[in-house]
Amino acid sequence: MLIQGNSIELLKSNEEISELKGKVNLIITSPPFPLNNKKQYGNEKGEEYQKWFTELAPVFSDLLTNDGSLVIEIGNAWEPERPVQSLLHLECLFGLVKHPDANLRLIQEFICYNPSKLPSPAQWVTVNRLRTVDSYTHVWWLAKTDFPKADNSRVLRPYSKSMKQLLKKQKYNAGKRPSEHQISETGFLTDHGGSIAHNFFEMEVIDEQREVRLPHSVLSFSNTNSNDYFLKKCREKKVIPHPARMSGGLINFFTQFLTDEGDLVLDPFSGSNTTGYCAEKLNRKWVSFEIKEEYVKQAIIRFSEPDINSPLTKLKS
């Protein structure tokens, strides 16, 4: 279900929508970042941003089931007109976990590296050349309990070539390592179908000579893919796509990691509704909110894909 309107106001005041309280298994979103310049999709700045962001905590907490999760992607902030990184994004995180009416805690932080990001902050990177490119975002996984629903066996990475050889030989050097870890003789001989995912997402290859082993759920979807149905249709219709789309790969990963089929996924700032699209393909129920009509229309373009009901393509290792 896609709802046009201010998600926070609707969730607080609309009686029908407020029935979602305590029923959402996963809130996953990329809210407007704390940027110094106003963007078309809307964003607050400075202290106003921190106040707005912190006040989301009790709203989100009320929506979640007891074992539900909140996943937020957010970029870095910089001090206005200064080549100094701001602490605003960290203050926002502290505001979420310290809010007295929310009972949220940080379960784990993930880093999403994207070398396709334009050089920013431009004044200090490309003009004065005082800083390096800010090329990653933070992804925070929060929950109301220390043990939210999660299963990392659903989001395994393909095994490395050396691990495949080890499994084939059924032999390796056991014993004590310089780190003082004791490696047992059989601890790495069971084929689990892949290795446990890392909390670092390399959305594009850093080193072309090195094999990238992201979970299939991340690799199966890329916002930068020029053959993407949504982007092709936008080009045909001369529509400028939402400039800050959350990676479908990230959404796939956390949806599979933290929910079961039939669970409810919610995105309060959905833009062109990548979240709803991914949830639909993964057989999850979903509710998305978007305040701007032009992005709602883009979501309709996304859902015009002929095979929208087909399962996500699984890449083979």
> Residue type for 200, please?
F
Q: Is the pLDDT of residue 160 over 90?
A: no
How many C-beta atoms surround the C-beta of residue 222 within 10 A? 16
Q: How many whole angstroms separate alpha carbon 66 and alpha carbon 54?
A: 20
- Whether the pLDDT of residue 267 is over 90: the answer is yes
**What proportion of the chain, given as a percentage, has pLDDT over 90?**
40
The pLDDT of residue 7 is 85
3-state secondary structure of 124: helix
Domains (ranges, CATH) in the chain? 2-156+197-302 (3.40.50.150), 159-193 (no CATH)
Q: Which two tokens stand for residue 210?
A: 């090195």
Q: Is the dihedral of CA 83, 84, 90, 91 positive or negative?
A: negative
Tokens representing residue 22 in the block: 């305590």
pTM of the model: 0.85
pLDDT at 111: 93
For residue 315, what pLDDT is reported? 37
For the stretch 80-139, pLDDT in tens is 889 999 999 999 999 999 999 999 999 999 999 887 778 888 999 999 999 999 989 999
The DSSP output letter for 280 is H
CA 75 vs CA 129, 141, 282, 315: distances in Å = 21, 15, 27, 29
pLDDT at 311 over 90: no
The predicted pLDDT at position 208 comes to: 59
Rounded Cα gap, residues 284 and 286, in angstroms: 6
pLDDT attached to residue 305? 81
How confident is the prediction for the chain on average, in pLDDT?
83
Residue with tokens 């790969």: 249
**Which two tokens mark 262?**
């039939």
Dihedral, 128, 132, 137, 140 alpha carbons, nearest 10: -110
In this prediction, residue 317 carries a pLDDT of 30
- Rounded Cα distance between 21 and 119, Å, is 40
pLDDT at 223: 42
| pLDDT above 90 (res 254) | yes
What are the tokens at 148?
């939210």
Average pLDDT, integer, range 6-29: 87
pLDDT digit string, tens, across residues 25-64: 999 999 886 754 554 444 456 688 899 999 999 999 999 9
Q: Which of 11-20, 99-108, 153-162 has the highest mean pLDDT?
A: 99-108
